[in-house]
A and B are shown apart, each in its own frame.
Chain A
Amino acid sequence: MLRKPGALFPSAAGRKRRAGTRSLFQNGSQVEIGSENVLKYIGKRLLAMIPVVLGVTLIVYCIMSLAPGDPARTILGEQATEEQVQALRDEMGLNDPLLVQYVRYVWKLLHGDFGTSYSSRIDVSKEIWSRFPNTIKLALVASLVSVIFALPLGIVAAVKQNTFFDSASMFFAIIGISCPTFWFGLILILVFAVHLKWFPVSGQVDTLKGIILPAVTLGFNSMAAMARVTRSSMLEVIRQDYIRTARAKGVSNRNVILQHAVPNAMIPTVTVIGLRIGGLLAGAVICETVFAWPGIGRLLVQSIMSRNTPVVLGCIIIFSICFSLVNLIVDILYAFIDPRIKSQYQ
Chain B
Amino acid sequence: MAIAETIDAAPAQRSGYWAGVASRLRRDPVTMICLAVLALLILSAIFAPFLGLQDPYKGSMIARLKPIGTPGHPLGTDEQGRDMLARLIYGGRLTLFIGLMPVVLAFFVGSILGIVAGYAGGMVNTVIMRTVDVFFAFPSVLLAIAISGALGAGIVNSLVSLTIVFIPPLTRVAEAVTSGVRSLDYIDAARASGASALTVIRVHVIGNVLSPIFVYATSLTSVCMILAAGLSFLGIGVRPPEPEWGLMLNTLRSAIYVNPWLSALPGLMIFITSLCLNLVSDGVRSAMNVHD
A and B found bound together: no
